[in-house]
């Protein structure tokens, strides 16, 4: 069995504050996607959407902790995907790794795993997601829940994983 390899598809480094980052026309020749973001949303809750879907098609389970407190929960029928870190400020920098499995398949709902480490409030989060849609993922949109910007210097890299 061949060893899966990461192939760089696209990368974005912000030279100024923006409200949205988007990867569009994603190459469909891989099995899985990995998105690595080292970013600073200037407000609570970064979020992701697939194929610009704003319907109530996203579900998640999560756990988080910061060394002195822990939490977990779930949500269904959400209008956005991948809520990230609950306590962002303009000085918060977070490393997020998102894996979307079988993104190009058209016979199943999409599943994803995510890990985020935020330097304020020193929080680690893990999520499992389901997007209730059988469409192939062709676009990933990243923004903030409250409409604030993603700050200058944030970086995003998208990789394809061959099977």
What the chain holds in terms of domains, given with CATH numbers, is: 6-161 (2.60.120)
How is residue 84 written in tokens? Answer: 């990230």
How deeply is 108 buried, as exposed, middle or buried, from its count of CB atoms within 10 A (0-12, 13-18, 19+)? exposed
The answer to whether 135 touches 51, Cβ cutoff 8 Å, is yes
Q: Terminal CA-to-CA distance of the chain, rounded, Å?
A: 9
Entry pTM: 0.89
The answer to whether 6 touches 158, Cβ cutoff 8 Å, is no
- Enumerate helices (H) and strands (E) in the chain, giving the number of each: 0, 12
Query: Does the bond joining 121 to the residue before it have cis omega, within 30 degrees of 0?
Result: yes
How is residue 16 written in tokens? Answer: 């100024």
How far apart are alpha carbons 65 and 134 in whole angstroms? 33
The answer to whether 153 touches 14, Cβ cutoff 8 Å, is yes
Q: What is the DSSP letter of 150?
A: B
How far apart are alpha carbons 19 and 156 in whole angstroms? 14
Alpha-helical (H) ranges within 27-124 are none
Which pLDDT tens digits describe the chain residue by residue (163 residues)? 567 789 999 999 999 999 999 999 999 999 999 999 998 877 667 788 999 998 889 999 989 888 888 999 998 887 666 555 545 555 667 888 999 999 999 999 999 999 988 766 678 889 999 999 999 999 999 988 777 888 899 999 999 998 7
């Amino acid at each position: 069995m061949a060893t899966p390899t990461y192939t760089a598809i696209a990368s974005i480094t912000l030279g100024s504050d923006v409200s949205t980052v988007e990867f569009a026309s994603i190459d469909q020749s891989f099995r899985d996607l990995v998105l690595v973001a080292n970013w600073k949303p200037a407000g609570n809750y970064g979020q992701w959407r697939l194929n610009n879907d704003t319907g109530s098609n996203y579900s998640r389970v999560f756990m988080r902790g910061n060394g002195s407190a822990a939490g977990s929960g779930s949500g269904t029928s959400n209008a956005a995907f991948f809520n990230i870190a609950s306590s962002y400020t303009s000085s918060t920098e977070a490393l997020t790794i998102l894996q979307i499995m079988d993104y190009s398949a058209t016979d199943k709902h999409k599943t994803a795993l995510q890990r985020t480490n935020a330097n304020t409030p020193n929080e680690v989060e893990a999520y499992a997601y389901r997007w209730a849609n059988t469409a192939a993922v062709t676009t990933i949109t990243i923004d903030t829940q409250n409409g604030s910007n993603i700050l200058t210097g944030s970086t995003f890299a998208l990789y394809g994983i061959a099977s």
